[in-house]
Amino acid sequence: MNCPTCQTPIPPAAIVSEAARINRAKVTRKTGIAPKLRPCPHCGEQFGSAALKQHKPRCPKHPVCKCGTCPDCTRRAKGRQYMRQWKAGRAKAPKKTPS
């Protein structure tokens, strides 16, 4: 096979490798990149990162805890306490994050 512009012969290996590259690009475009699956810490079911973020708080095996020492409880309690103080006028307004 010759180049359509300059009419020099193209080696068959180059044609095969280019066809393989185009084919891989088509497959990736159609299916997308395979998600990296991670297990849920509570039930062990596999999820992609976005799906895991949605699943974790709603997991049926998620322990219901009101101890005040685990990160979930303290974060929620501190947020509620801060909002109560802010509404009462004893705390500064929450910082706005730059977008």
Tokens of 8: 């020099």
Q: How many domains does one find in the chain?
A: 1
pLDDT of 78 reads 59
pLDDT of 70 reads 61
- DSSP letter at 41? T
Kindly state whether residue 19 falls inside one of the protein's structural domains.
no
Kindly state whether residue 42 falls inside one of the protein's structural domains.
yes
Kindly state whether residue 61 falls inside one of the protein's structural domains.
yes
Domain range for 83 is 38-88
Amino acid letter, 63: P
pLDDT of 68 reads 56
Kindly state whether residue 20 falls inside one of the protein's structural domains.
no
Residues of the chain with pLDDT under 50: none
User: Tokens 């395979």 label which residue?
Assistant: 34
Averaged confidence pLDDT in the chain: 75
Burial 6-41 (b: 16+ CB within 10 A, else e): eeeeeeeeeeeeeeeeeeeeeeeeeeeeeeeeeebe
Kindly state whether residue 26 falls inside one of the protein's structural domains.
no
Cα 12 to chain centroid distance, Å, stands at: 41
Kindly state whether residue 23 falls inside one of the protein's structural domains.
no
**Distance separating alpha carbons of residues 77 and 70, to the nearest angstrom:** 11
* pTM of full prediction above 0.75: no
